[in-house]
Chain A
Amino acid sequence: MAVIIETPNSPRTRKQANWEKYGWLFMRVSGPLLIVLIFTHLVVNLVVGDGIKAIDFAFVAGKWADPFWQVWDMAMLWLALIHGTNGMRTIVNDYVEKETLRKGLVTTLWAVGGLLILLGTLVIFTFDPCPAGAAAELLPSFCPAN
């Protein structure tokens, strides 16, 4: 049987947009960034100052009152969730052979990842330790209502 290779000098036409390159690149960029973000987060929360004893509701409220830590935590949230979800996606792509099941699992992964990113971002930027009109016994001690 003769092997016929048609016009070998013309590039293969792309069937569809290919995101694999960008997915691979994202993993390589977000990985080192996450190491810096997470370890700084751990040191600031658990080691610096009073260390682990300083962590309470007020500590978190104080951090999220500062735009710097809001952006920091958002970067951690987005990068970690996209990194993790994309990692799970590659595992699903590697090991799930049924196309419908594979599509279902990948869609579920991104739906869950997207929802968590949405909720987390919402909490970081709308967090209010002393919401107006809340019952006084539910509020932390530092709120002006007490």
Chain B
Amino acid sequence: MDKAIAEVASFTVTLMIRRFDPEVDQEPKWVDYDVEMFGTDRVLDALHKIKWEIDGSLTFRRSCAHGVCGSDAMRINGRNRLACKTLIKDLDISNPIYIEPIKGLPVEKDLIVNMEPFYQAYRDINPFLMASDTPAKERLQSPEDRARYDDTTKCILCAACTTSCPVFWTDGQYFGPAAIVNAHRFIFDSRDEGAQVRIDILNDKEGVWRCRTTFNCTEACPRGIEVTKAIAEVKQAILRGRP
């Protein structure tokens, strides 16, 4: 086999990482690292390389590393993405790659933020099936009824959407796109009986009416959920008073 074809091109790339150690630093600071990467590597691989070979104190979350668990959402070159789904070669490697923690949630250390306010909003919309009948047998649903909320079942709670929302940056009380997406998933589920409860919860000063339709959330979603559309559908459900 031709050696040139078999080899994956390698290149040196500079990563500027926003680092913060609460035991030492007063303010977060930018630290740069030069790493030799390959065309098949993702941003997460570069972070691993830094943590494992250069500076073991670099702190970030990751679990499955394949875009399913939603642990490694971060701000890469100013955009919220999953580090495990962003290939380095797709970024502009002639300039440093800037990596920051997601915005709007308190930074705990380096790229790790406190997700608790985000999860609290999620819990507040009752993210579980509400049904009055006893679960003695399957609850059947037509393919059309299932398709109604298919898009919003894809959410992995990575917080990329909520922390890309300018309203959430300035108003931490706002439920945020992710919570509304997960409410949408149950409001439009034909088997669920709790739509009124969720509609009432989101018809709040800090509910869907805070949305300014900037589409940041739709652009940020690593799962390709049409978040702004889901929020608009919840708005319409509230105006109608039913799903």
Contacts and interface: CB of A to CB of B under 8 A. Distances in A.
Nearest to B172: A97
Interface stretch (B52-60, B68-76, B199-207, B219-227): B199-207
Interface in A78-102: 90, 93-95, 97
A23 B196 CA distance: 21
Interface residues of B, number: 23
B123 A5 contact: yes
Given A11-B196, A21-B238, A3 B171 contact: no
Interface in A16-32: 18, 20-21, 23-25
A94 B212 contact: yes
B205 A20 contact: yes
A140 B126 CA distance: 69
Contacts of A18: 203-205
Contact of B209 (A8, A10, A20, A95): A20
Nearest to B204: A18
Interface size class of A (residues with CB under 8 A): 10 to 19
B147 interface: no
A11 B203 CA distance: 12
A115 to B, nearest CB: 26
A23 B209 CA distance: 9
B4 to A, nearest CB: 55
Contacts of A24: 209, 235
Given A20-B205, A21-B209, A24-B209, A12 B200 contact: yes
12 contacts: A3-B123, A9-B197, A11-B196, A11-B200, A20-B207, A20-B209, A21-B238, A21-B239, A94-B167, A94-B170, A94-B210, A97-B170
Interface of B: 123, 126, 128, 130, 166-167, 170-171, 194, 196-197, 200-201, 203-205, 207, 209-210, 212, 235, 238-239
Given A9-B130, A18-B203, A21-B209, 13 more contacts: A3-B123, A8-B126, A8-B128, A8-B194, A8-B197, A10-B197, A11-B196, A20-B204, A21-B238, A25-B239, A90-B212, A93-B171, A94-B210
